[in-house]
Amino acid sequence: MTLQFLFNLLVALLWMAINNSSSGATFLIGFLLGIGMLLLFRRSKPQARPFYLKRLWSIFKLLLIFIRELTISNFVVIYHILRPKLAIRPGIFAYETALTSAWEVTLLSCLICLTPGTLTLDVSRDGKTLYIHAIDIKDAEEMVKQIRGNFEQVIMEVTR
């Protein structure tokens, strides 16, 4: 990923030097030419590493999903606080993860902890099970599907 980015940057800078221009538009055209060259090189070598912009897009998507979940959960917690009668069902559930590395499990745990209303209490010794506390559990299976669909899938896209 780093080498691809550096190559892309080098092509953009060479394009600026060839055109004897230091404008942003010239850099952007060179950068786009570098992306095109990288894509052409990838077609000639199918076993090449994943394209770096795909991983950057996955990181951006993870950030957007986190912001969306953070916003929604904030409103849910505010709703529970402002209701005249507190009608919540807090609980703890076990979440079996398909993530393999310690870094992936740590990232998932942090994203869960940063979302209001949920907290990762513990991770099993093998790193496959997370014990999560939620402020309001209507359906634990639905929460598992939500975590798996929102966070875990995108974390796999980012790290693999």
- pTM reported for the whole predicted model: 0.75
Q: What is the pLDDT of residue 40?
A: 84
The sheet that has 118-123: what strands, in order across it?
Answer: 91-96, 129-134, 118-123
Domain ranges of the chain: 2-44, 55-159
Q: Which residue has better confidence, 22 or 45?
A: 22
Determine what percent of the chain is predicted with pLDDT higher than 70.
96
pLDDT in tens, 96-123: 999 999 999 999 999 999 888 899 999 9
The residues near 48 (Cβ < 8 Å, ≥ 6 apart) are: 41, 42
User: DSSP letters along 92-103, please?
Assistant: EEEEE----SHH
Q: Are the CB atoms for 118 and 134 separated by under 8 Å?
A: yes
Token reading at 135: 């402020």
